[in-house]
Amino acid sequence: MALQSSKRARHYGLRFGVLPTGPLNMITDVPGVRVGQVTLNEEHDIHTGVTAILPHDGNQFQEKSPAAIYIGNGFGKLVGYTQIEELGTLETPIILTNTLSVPAAADALIDYTLTQPGNEKVRSVNPLVGETNDGFLNDICGRHISKEHVLNAIHQATTGYVEEGNVGAGTGTVCFGFKGGIGTSSRKLPPSLGEFTLGVLVQTNFGGVLRVAGLPVGIELGSYSFKENLDGSCMIIVITDAPLDARNLKRLAKRAFMGLAQTGGIGSNGSGDYAIAVST
């Protein structure tokens, strides 16, 4: 479900970890972070979309953010990795979509950047686009995502509530043999540790044996994805207002995979698992 009224895990009494959440328990609890999504559910076989994450409300190219990427398993088509690895900065919004729509999304990010006031003399743009393969539920070869869909997701991005589940880049994804989607959460550090906020957004499309709050749910249900298929992917976006440089953001990104493992993810051979960490 993608409705604000739909319940989240904590509504059912489930608790994860010991740190408090932000007000919404979403990536947008980090001040200035915006998320926009476009969802395509058309006919019987088009189920895909775009999710845009903007670290701040300024000109991202002119006000680059410290950033780093850690690759858990590199069977993916992430665009923009090498320049971020080299320079440690993010100069466009982050776009998530399906595998075969990465070129369209990158093209849209270049258009968006070149049309921003102050970028008239820009001659080089490093778009950052992540993906998972939603071809099981979506006619991925039809390449139904257009540049306009991507630009709409960027322009619609807002702070506050983020739709989860079957929306945006998570519309056609599958996870642990169940329906996947977009998920988000946040944590607040205590005053003794700087009182910073860290938010996460994931595009889940991976396999393994589902665990919930440490319980082996997948085993109890006799359901786990690698009975038939080992492949899958997960894009993890980590944003914080802690003043971290690229080196420490890489360390932070590595730790995102500890969380993935806690859910039962196994990082299979065909999985494209990437963590992108950004400081605002």
16-43: pLDDT as tens digits: 888 999 999 999 999 999 999 999 999 8
pLDDT at 190 over 50: yes
pLDDT at 268 over 90: no
pLDDT at 191 over 90: yes
84-116: pLDDT as tens digits: 999 999 999 999 999 999 999 999 999 999 999
Q: Which residues are catalytic?
A: 233, 271, 273
When mean pLDDT is compared across 157-161, 207-211, 226-230, the lowest value belongs to: 226-230
pLDDT at 276 over 60: yes
pLDDT at position 104: 99
Yes or no: domain 18-279 corresponds to CATH 3.60.70.12? yes
pLDDT at position 20: 94
Query: Which residue ranges make up each domain of the chain?
Result: 18-279
pLDDT at position 269: 76
Torsion angle defined by CA atoms of residues 216, 221, 226 and 231, in that order, rounded to the nearest 10 degrees: -80
pLDDT at position 1: 42
115-147: pLDDT as tens digits: 999 999 999 999 999 999 999 999 999 999 999
pLDDT at position 128: 99
Residue 3 confidence class, pLDDT cut points 50, 70, 90: very low
* Average pLDDT along the chain: 92
213-267: pLDDT as tens digits: 877 877 788 776 665 565 679 999 999 999 999 999 999 999 999 998 888 788 7
